[in-house]
Structures are given as C-alpha cells and as structure tokens.
Amino acid sequence: MEAQGYDLVLIDTRPGANADTEDLILATDLVLIPTRPGQSDYSIAERTLEWFEDILKTVRPDSPTPALRTVLTAVPAKMISVLTGDLDIASLTPRDRDALQAVMDMPHALPKAAEHAKASSRLAEATARYAGHATPRPQEPRPTSHLTWHRRARRPPRAQSGRSQRRGSGHGSAARWWTAPARWRP
C-alpha cells in the first residue's frame, strides 16, 4: 500500500481468534480493540490481549511487532463523570467499578468520540491521570473527507438456509478497510 501512496490503512476484521486475523495482526503497526467498560466486553478483551501476546511470542525478537491498544467505546455518562473527577467513584455500582478498573488496567487509547473532541480530550486527560500516565496532548479531530471506502468479500457466498442466510451478509462476512492518500497525514 505504501508503494501506491497510502500512509494509513485501517482494517476492520471480524471478532475472534481466526487465522486470517492473526496474519493481519502480524502485518500491522498498531492493533486497536474496541472495548466497552462492561463485564462481558472487558473479559473478551482480556482474552484477546492474551491471544495477542501468544502471537507475539512466535515472532523473532529482532522482528518489528505491532503495538496494541484498547479503545474505550460506549462509555456511560456516569463513568465519564467519575473519570473526569465530577463524581466520586463510590457513585458507581460495585460491578461498574470492577469493570472500569479492569478496563483501565488494559493498554488503552482515546475513546471513540471524534465528534465530541472536548469531551474526548477531558476523558483522555482523566483516563491518563487515573491510569498514572502522562496527560496526552489534546488534538483537533482529523478530517475524514479524504477517506476512501473499499470492500472485498473474504470468501465467496455459500448457500445457506433460513435464519443464518439473513445473518450471513452482516458483520464479519467481508473484510473492510479504509485508506487515506499520502497527502493526508495522521
């Protein structure tokens, strides 16, 4: 892709430990795992982190390896208030506190909130404080008008019957990726 003038390629794969996903991981510079601060999501993210670490053990020590971050998505307003210091952590239920603590212990990136840059910046600063990291420098959201949508079928459609046929065309049936021209610097 670099030879074609692209600096950034985003690949959205189906969830789970799949052979094709493993190949994509080894070909990337950065892997992002979207994670909601909820019991079921963070336990799945933890298993994914363990799988990622197992993959990296198969790579030679002198080979480049991708970085991994979890991206907080769908963070409830009450948790944002706790992270920004507007509410005390005691205001969360014990289950939410456990989920928040587990998610905060994972490597993380900015929450998905490009359309809410101010809230995203506040949450990033609070998240960094809570996790004991240096406060990240706030950035303006990048324009997305230069992104190009590509879609390629992962495998030819197969004959299915009933309910599974309707679900087969949904999430996970095709690889998705976005590319940005070289003139757009992330």
C-beta of residue 71 within 8 angstroms of C-beta of residue 110: yes
Asked if residue 179 belongs to a domain, the reply is: no
Which residue would you say has higher pLDDT here, 87 or 148? 87
Cα–Cα dist 91/95, whole Å: 11
Identity of the residue numbered 26: L
Cα-based angle 12, 19, 65 (whole degrees, multiple of 5): 70
How many CB atoms are closer than 10 A to CB 150? 10
Asked if residue 84 belongs to a domain, the reply is: yes
C-beta of residue 33 within 8 angstroms of C-beta of residue 48: yes
Asked if residue 106 belongs to a domain, the reply is: yes
Range of the domain at 54: 15-141
Alpha helices in the chain (DSSP H): 19-26, 39-57, 77-83, 94-104, 117-131, 163-168
Highest mean pLDDT among 12-16, 36-40, 93-97, 180-184 belongs to: 93-97
- Residue 73: C-alpha distances to residues 35, 95, 108, 114 (Å): 6, 18, 11, 11
Task: Tell me what pLDDT residue 12 has.
Answer: 79
Instruction: Quickly state the pLDDT bin for 110 (edges 50, 70, 90).
Output: very low
Overall average pLDDT of the 108-135 stretch: 52
Task: Tell me what pLDDT residue 183 has.
Answer: 47
Asked if residue 50 belongs to a domain, the reply is: yes
- Positive or negative, the CA dihedral 46, 47, 50, 56 is negative
Asked if residue 154 belongs to a domain, the reply is: no
C-beta of residue 11 within 8 angstroms of C-beta of residue 176: yes
How many domains does one find in the chain? 1
Asked if residue 9 belongs to a domain, the reply is: no
Asked if residue 51 belongs to a domain, the reply is: yes
DSSP 83-94: HTTSS-GGGS-H
Highest mean pLDDT among 102-111, 135-144, 171-180 belongs to: 102-111
Instruction: Quickly state the pLDDT bin for 144 (edges 50, 70, 90).
Output: very low
Q: What percent of the chain has pLDDT over 70?
A: 54
**What is the residue whose two structure tokens read 């789970």?**
16
**Is 0.75 surpassed by the pTM of this model?**
no
Asked if residue 86 belongs to a domain, the reply is: yes
